[in-house]
Amino acid sequence: MYINGAWCTPKSNATFDVFNPANGKKIANVADGTEIDARLAIDAAGSAFPSWSKSTAYQRATFLTNAHRIMLSRKDVLAEIMTIEQGKPLKAARNEVQYAADFLLWYAEEAKRINGEILPSARPDQRFMVLHQAVGVVAAVTPWNYPISMITRKIAPALAAGCCIVLKPAEATPLCAIEMFKIFKEANIPNGVVNLVTAKDPKPIGEEFTTNPTVAKITFTGSTAVGKMLACQAGAHMKRISLELGGHAPFIVCEDADPVHAAKGASLVKFLNTGQACISPNRFLVHTSAYDAFIDTLSTRVAKMKTGSGFEDGVSIGPLINQAAIDKVNRQVTDAVEKGAKLITGGMQLTEGRLADGHFYAPTVLADVTPDMLIYREETFGPVAPIIKYDDNDDVLAMANDTTYGLAAYVYTQNLGRAMHMFEGLRFGIIGINDINPTSAAAPFGGMKDSGLGREGGKPGIMEYLETKTAGLSI
Ligand code: ADP
């Protein structure tokens, strides 16, 4: 763990094991922290806050650009650790490192643009001034599916705003977090500004984060169930909170879309990270006129995808994170097939030869999916593309919005009016229009409904770490 600028062991001296999901082998053992260690880390962040929050934006930007430079110089090492620990193919891991580094640079620049305002008053002798200041100590909890970019997406804006932070990464991927903190240390970020507590059991740490009076704000990325629970705990102590939770993204292929182009996009975005992404499409709503061509192209491409270790050449489908993830996918696919879905390709755990010791599932396409199937409502977090046919253009928006989630949505259409209509009508926070990667450090990312609160990235991403103060001034 990394507390107050020093590497340390937990008070209990306990450790836990980390495994490679591609072969089940143990790769490391890591400090198993408890609420006692979390408290020490929060105290360190609290002590560092007065001077860090008073440092100039230019000073804070320098630390972030240092970290950005070191990070890019370590791109290959970071990517290899990610592939070993999380499983994604090496090329995808490198892309994630680049995306993660972008946040450090973007927020280094944005630190200098935390502008205030002077507002006119209805009284001639009065002016209003508006000032934005760091909220204080931030406690962050991150997931395993994007184990580096989810860290910088929180730490970069928090530090740029003048906050100090304590991070608890996911228990499946602490090594990526440890590697990032080596970078923060080398970037000379002052003691106590960034702190890392690793733990096998997240619950006591979450309780400490949400109840400790020094913590002003919680930022969480993970499941909706845990996010809601943390929001309740944080609410009882009136802590600010941002939540980036689950999704159930629709991918709409309109009557006027090119079904082959749409299917190519679908094959790329659905199977990215083996479907383990909150913005992964989970319902392909395809117009009758495009249905057969879409399925043809998609299934041909999917059948050719190579599954295996992320270190093997040509592999695009890595392992799922654990057996529980495989079981969930299996349950949804079996349920859909029992209720009449057509299995076009895939549909089983892969256990032959070199895949035997890992958690592999064949990339799967299911056609004729209907609303009575589990997969129509539940987030899958696995490599399954469920396809639903629709007839009536007036219905599809309501079908897409018929979910408790509201994170990402995708639309393929060549009609500009329809694209605008969809953009305005979809109750989702991130919308790809003929585009499968609507994310960037510069663009707000976040959801509606059960997909969360607040935004990460872009200008709104730094506002999450700032309080707004108003002064009325008599002149
Ligand atoms: P997943 O099911 O995808 O692993 P989780 O929401 O369980 O999603 O995990 C996301 C992050 O939330 C991880 O860092 C995990 O350790 C953490 N987490 C899980 N349960 C709790 C909890 N009760 N309190 C605080 N953090 C938690």
pTM to 2 decimal places? 0.98
Among 30, 226, 274, which residue has the most ligand 1 atoms within 8 Å of its CB, making it the best to mutate?
226
DSSP assignments along 300-356, one per residue: HHHHTPEES-TTSTTEEE---SSHHHHHHHHHHHHHHHHTT-EEEE--SEE-SGGGT
| Residue-level pLDDT at 435 | 98
pLDDT in tens, 31-59: 999 999 999 999 999 999 999 999 999 99
Q: Looking at ligand 1, which atom is closest to the CA of residue 168?
A: 14
pLDDT in tens, 241-289: 999 999 999 999 999 999 999 999 999 999 999 999 999 999 999 999 9
| Residue-level pLDDT at 308 | 97
Q: Atom 25 (ligand 1): residue with closest C-alpha?
A: 206
CA distance 33 to 7: 13
Task: For the chain, give the percent of residues with pLDDT over 70.
Answer: 100
* Residue 358 confidence class, pLDDT cut points 50, 70, 90: very high
Stretch 310-323: mean pLDDT: 97
CA distance 348 to 362: 6
Stretch 448-474: mean pLDDT: 98
Among 18, 141, 196, 242, which residue has the most ligand 1 atoms within 8 Å of its CB, making it the best to mutate?
141
User: Residue 244 phi/psi, 5° resolution?
Assistant: -120, 105
CA distance 473 to 475: 6
Q: How far is the CA of 35 from the centre of ligand 1 (A)?
A: 15
Tell me the pLDDT of the chain averaged across its residues. Answer: 98
Dmax (CA) for the chain in angstroms is 81
pLDDT in tens, 184-226: 999 999 999 999 999 999 999 999 999 999 999 999 999 999 9
CA distance 367 to 72: 42
| Residue-level pLDDT at 439 | 97
Q: How far is the CA of 439 from the centre of ligand 1 (A)?
A: 23
Neighbouring residues of 400: CB distance < 8 A, sequence distance ≥ 6:
250, 252, 283, 285, 409, 426
Residue 345's identity, in one-letter code, is: T
| Residue-level pLDDT at 14 | 98
Q: How far is the CA of 226 from the centre of ligand 1 (A)?
A: 6
Spell out which residues line ligand 1, taking CB within 6 angstroms.
Answer: 141-143, 170-171, 202-203, 206, 222-223, 226, 230
* Residue 380 confidence class, pLDDT cut points 50, 70, 90: very high
